[in-house]
Amino acid sequence: MLRWVAFITLAACGSKSIDKERAAALYTEVVLDTEPGLSGLALDDDNNLWTVSERGNKAY
């Protein structure tokens, strides 16, 4: 049983390829040159840019 759980976990966590053509129909990719520690960028319905700044084990 433990081997089966380990197999399923590893299979689910494996790297996944992205179908860029399908993703392009849903999203617009924008490359931003930011300082280290900035992640979780998102644009809301009102075109406001939201981000998460990470410092150590905390997110601001």
Residue 60 banded pLDDT, cuts 50, 70, 90: low
Q: What is the pTM of this model?
A: 0.33
Residue 58 has pLDDT above 70, yes or no: no
Residue 44 has pLDDT above 80, yes or no: yes
Q: Which two tokens mark 6?
A: 């380990």
Longest CA–CA span in the chain (Å) reads: 49
Tens-place pLDDT, residues 7-41: 677 666 766 777 888 888 888 777 878 777 777 77
C-alpha span between 48 and 27 (Å, rounded) = 16
